[in-house]
Structure 1
């Protein structure tokens, strides 16, 4: 016999991922039954995660009613109360059962008979009536005259009592009862633990920015969404992203099974017999036999089951992936209040996490200053986390000099790190930006037919800040890092992020201040000399920024290029003449074919054709010579470029 035992809740760990870890600890004596109650939404998580620890346990089991258990239990009883709304429904469902009915207001009358039917009538017509078939005939009994009744069959009476007891135990449809049954002897400690869905705990912060330091408070909003009072519970608040998922473990699950045809014998079918033609017909007859067709149906059913209900591998793979990914929980950060907390069921509290003084400095911060546009900075406070704690992201209420100044958002703040928190616009300060850039040749080198040039590019930005306030301002200017350029001067540099430089600037009241930021980078370019034009060579040879030796080399290259261009021009001119004479020859031949060679005009075309043929032969010889001369000039020029060295 199990003894009801209460194991109180001792520890709760809330995760920012939306779940909570609950631990119950207490003492048990002998065989124990530990009752727990959950909502239908919680029961799946509990079944997935429940841990029971009892060093003296001989056997442990967990009992609970499955989904829709109430309806199924009621339907299993001879008196089914699952879908009844009144007495008439109950009696109508028991038609044929024997009933003993007591009627009459003064002199009681007993009628024993089997229920024939129940007739529903309007109240004006006398109301509902019960028809009983008794030994002396059918009795029509109005419901309003029935004082009591009972089933003469004891089993039906017991089932009615059982149904009412089940309904009483399940009166709260929103609760599911779970019993942990432990077979053990003696007095000992028992521990239960499980994970359930829970509201995330929410951090909020307060900053009172003073001069040099800031009063920093961290609070946590905690919601007890359970139906258990948290009395002196050790609470742990955890940030991080452990792997979590839901699985529908509570309702019974029935797998798919195919329906196969019966293997029973059947009457022999009529057959006809044809002449044999060989093995092919034997194979056909075997494939068409009833046994083979039944086998094919079975294979088809199995294939359908595999394609439509193949859950095994997908679930296994999912669990394996979740287990492999769960190592991320090692990156969590925890906060535990010094004293246990007490929170009533369905109540919420706000508890302090930290109250410390942090190094702080107030700035007016320019983050996105646009070119030649007036921009207002943000009021910001820069804090350094020297508390030794890690603070998750959350909203911040900022005060300055004891008065509310604005709201802000704090991103995750590790121990030892700094954050700039903006909480309002500084309308008394504005700033503008101007930019310019310059480029100068650093080195030039010609070798191997290539021109290698390194240029120094300088990017100058000037920030102008006007302070119209009656107090001086500490201004922080965020300057985007320009490509691969390096900062020339770091005098006013406060810090650097992957994308920004942060500079400080102090501006007196009713005054204007400027900040000059200079960046430089060396840009290397390589160009093939063979791809340059004569104009390129002339431009380089006359560029005063080029070294003298390089300019001289380009002068020589330009001269060689001029000779190559001359050979190319000769070849192109002869090629054009050759094409022109060829076109004239084609037209003369067409005219000769049209007029005939025996006519006077035809003889003129014939003479012209002979003359053009002679000119064409002469031009062809010259063109071939020019092509050879051009090829030699191109090769000589290419070889020459490979030998040029300068710089």
Structure 2
């Protein structure tokens, strides 16, 4: 007989020293049907149970918290139905509250064990799609009847001996090809003896044993039932006396809720615009939402899914029996030492250890076995709100604990609430959240992009609704008709945002030409480096033509120039992120021009130590150089001139030495070719001696000139190192 396993979540309320406590105990047991739980008690009929869905909180992270409340009388129960994909969220988050002195009972639901475990429990195991060969292998020794597919048709009756695979010769196969294996079943009968039948020729199979045939039907029913078992019932039990209020709540996955806005612009000046917020929600559950209080929460709690519904079997190792136990008779002494600690050694095993469960575990088990032993809650019931009340009292699943926490809202800035909401199951709805006047100023917004001519009609919207406005689409209505669409970003209280909704074709904005020039501000000289500080001015602008009969307040935005700042107009310019923004008022039928001046101040550093006289003279041609800088550069030019003169004299000396050495080489070659007795030889030898005397004199002059050059170089370097001028304002 198949047993029905019911998972129960029991919540027992006890009272100790006058302080209420809530203790949660979880058990798994083989249970009788729900009706059997109520034997000896008065189960309140459904008509006396007013528990219904009262409040739904939808969070921004696709989860919803569903709260039920109502009145029950005596011992009562409420049954809910969930889809198989929802039951795990319910088991993870379900909370109870009996506020009238009653006792929270348990939540019963049918267990769902893995299909493989269910199939393996039948006499014929269909787990893993065994096929006919696998099924026949499980019928060994049992009588079956096979219908053979042949002409004429025949049947075989007998007991299954075994099912084997045999190779079958195929005449059409190529030489060396692998043999084809086929399944055969071996039957034994008194009349026919042992027969072997190829399974591919079996047309049908009949099991003679009714018990085995029934097991096969049950296994097939389990396979077919799993595909349709998408509903999961959950029965909540409440125990107590009299009429009292109860509440319970759970978490479910829900679709994202969205917000959309309508901005109604007034046709007459002096009237505030109206902002309407609409929430789009979807009731994808199988229950109807009737007159509930709906909370749209912007907070994002952490949430996850864990499989708590399906029983999970943990793998356990199979250990062999110990083989070191001595089975030989033992010879003992005449006495046994007391408390020797070796009692177990005499039996060939370890000393046994018996550990009692902790005291709190025994108390928990006792509470399960003897629930009446727990102290009863106070009999005085709390006053509960009327059933037709639109707003459910703040649900407190911790009521009865020692510590209590109260909060008006989980997230005040994001909490949107709508009362008396009704949405049918599997339906969506658009619900108005609020309609309120807001502060809005009309303007035109022009973003300076290539090809742009007309600004956008816009409204500077200030959030004075007292609520945090989440991001969403916005439709703008003006004069009772459609004006355009926009988008609203997240907007806190008292914050403002410009929303654009249409092109203003009556206003044209054209950008003017851009030109720039530079001006020297100051100059300084520091250790051979010339510091030139100059300002670059860039001129641009816009021409705005307003052809309408109403004035326009225009905002022009353009990308900021890196390293530049707006010098004019200062009062009408501001910064917004990486853009510069200018405001301008354009009268009706007029043209207004906006001139923009940008300035950039930079300092250039020029190293003058290695500059030649010509390069230094070129610097003097720069306009607006201060006189002090000009004087310092002229001194450097004079030092450079002295150095050049000394270097020129040294070069002349070196050239003279080179000529003498070349003449000496010529004389030496001629002397090598002449005879010593020749008179010309003596003349050339005397000339060589004279040239050597001149070379010695030139070398002394060279040494003197080198010293002069080095002194001039040192003087120039000392000048650059010691000179520090300015910075001085340009002329």
State the TM-score, normalized to the length of structure 1. 0.65
Distance 1:137 1:466, change over 3 A: same
SS at match of 1:200: coil
SS at match of 1:557: helix
Distance 1:33 1:539, change over 3 A: same
1:561: which partner in 2? 636
Return the alpha-carbon distance in structure 2 between the equivalents of residues 608 and 57 of structure 1. Answer: 137
Return the alpha-carbon distance in structure 2 between the equivalents of residues 263 and 578 of structure 1. Answer: 113
2:542: which partner in 1? 463
Alignment of 1:574-589 (within 5 A): none
One of 343, 355, 359 as aligned partner of 2:423:
343
Q: Is the 8 A contact 1:2 1:31 kept in 2?
A: no
Alignment of 1:73-222 (within 5 A): 73-80=118-125, 95=139, 114-119=142-147, 121=149, 131=157, 151=209, 153=211, 170=226, 172-173=228-229, 175=230, 177=232, 189-196=246-253, 198-211=254-267, 212=269, 213-222=272-281
1:72: which partner in 2? 117
SS at match of 1:191: strand
Return the alpha-carbon distance in structure 1 between the equivalents of residues 309 and 664 of structure 2. Answer: 100
Alignment of 1:216-255 (within 5 A): 216-239=275-298, 241-243=300-302
1:501: which partner in 2? 581
Return the alpha-carbon distance in structure 1 between the equivalents of residues 111 and 689 of structure 2. Answer: 119
Return the alpha-carbon distance in structure 2 between the equivalents of residues 590 and 575 of structure 1. Answer: 23
SS at match of 2:419: coil
Q: Which has the larger radius of gyration?
A: 2
Shift of 1:447: 7.0
1:308: which partner in 2? none
Return the alpha-carbon distance in structure 2 between the equivalents of residues 343 and 90 of structure 1. Answer: 53
Structure 2: gaps (5+ residues): 1-35, 160-187, 194-201, 325-408, 676-680
Shift of 1:478: 1.9
Return the alpha-carbon distance in structure 1 between the equivalents of residues 629 and 594 of structure 2. Answer: 43
Q: Is the 8 A contact 1:240 1:333 kept in 2?
A: no
Shift of 1:216: 2.3
1:376: which partner in 2? 454
Q: Is the 8 A contact 1:2 1:33 kept in 2?
A: no
Shift of 1:222: 0.9
Q: Is the 8 A contact 2:294 2:418 kept in 1?
A: no
Superposed CA RMSD? 5.5
Shift of 1:557: 0.8
Shift of 1:178: 7.3
Shift of 1:426: 3.1
Shift of 1:356: 2.2
Return the alpha-carbon distance in structure 1 between the equivalents of residues 574 and 316 of structure 2. Answer: 72
One of 50, 61, 65 as aligned partner of 2:93:
50
Shift of 1:183: 9.6
Q: Is the 8 A contact 2:646 2:708 kept in 1?
A: yes
Shift of 1:364: 3.1
2:58: which partner in 1? 14
Return the alpha-carbon distance in structure 2 between the equivalents of residues 575 and 176 of structure 1. Answer: 111
1:272: which partner in 2? none
1:334: which partner in 2? 414
Distance 1:169 1:331, change over 3 A: same
SS at match of 2:631: helix
Alignment of 1:483-522 (within 5 A): 483=563, 485-492=565-572, 499-509=579-589, 511-520=590-599
Q: Is the 8 A contact 1:393 1:413 kept in 2?
A: yes
2:672: which partner in 1? 598
Shift of 1:445: 5.8
Distance 1:169 1:232, change over 3 A: farther
Q: Is the 8 A contact 2:158 2:189 kept in 1?
A: no
Return the alpha-carbon distance in structure 2 between the equivalents of residues 637 and 239 of structure 1. Answer: 73
Q: Is the 8 A contact 2:418 2:433 kept in 1?
A: no
1:406: which partner in 2? 484
State the TM-score, normalized to the length of structure 2. 0.59
Return the alpha-carbon distance in structure 2 between the equivalents of residues 583 and 332 of structure 1. Answer: 99
2:399: which partner in 1? none
Structure 1: gaps (5+ residues): 98-113, 266-328
Query: 1:596-647 deviations in whole A, cap 9, x for unaligned?
Result: 9723699899889958964773464145313421343124313541377866
Distance 1:389 1:522, change over 3 A: same
Aligned residues: 547
Shift of 1:419: 2.0
SS at match of 2:540: strand
Return the alpha-carbon distance in structure 2 between the equivalents of residues 557 and 15 of structure 1. Answer: 76
Return the alpha-carbon distance in structure 2 between the equivalents of residues 573 and 332 of structure 1. Answer: 90
Return the alpha-carbon distance in structure 2 between the equivalents of residues 131 and 607 of structure 1. Answer: 144
Bigger shift: residues 352-361 or 247-256: 247-256
Shift of 1:351: 1.0
Shift of 1:420: 1.9
Select the structure that is richer in helix: 1
Distance 1:183 1:12, change over 3 A: closer
One of 616, 620, 634 as aligned partner of 2:716:
634
2:475: which partner in 1? 397
Distance 1:83 1:245, change over 3 A: closer
Return the alpha-carbon distance in structure 1 between the equivalents of residues 587 and 263 of structure 2. Answer: 25
Query: 1:426-459 deviations in whole A, cap 9, x for unaligned?
Result: 3443222223445445555667877666555544
Return the alpha-carbon distance in structure 1 between the equivalents of residues 688 and 313 of structure 2. Answer: 104
Shift of 1:562: 1.5
Shift of 1:425: 2.9
2:493: which partner in 1? 415
Residue 38 in structure 1 maps to residue 83 in structure 2: yes
Q: Is the 8 A contact 1:446 1:645 kept in 2?
A: yes
SS at match of 1:219: strand
Q: Is the 8 A contact 1:9 1:25 kept in 2?
A: yes
Return the alpha-carbon distance in structure 2 between the equivalents of residues 379 and 537 of structure 1. Answer: 60
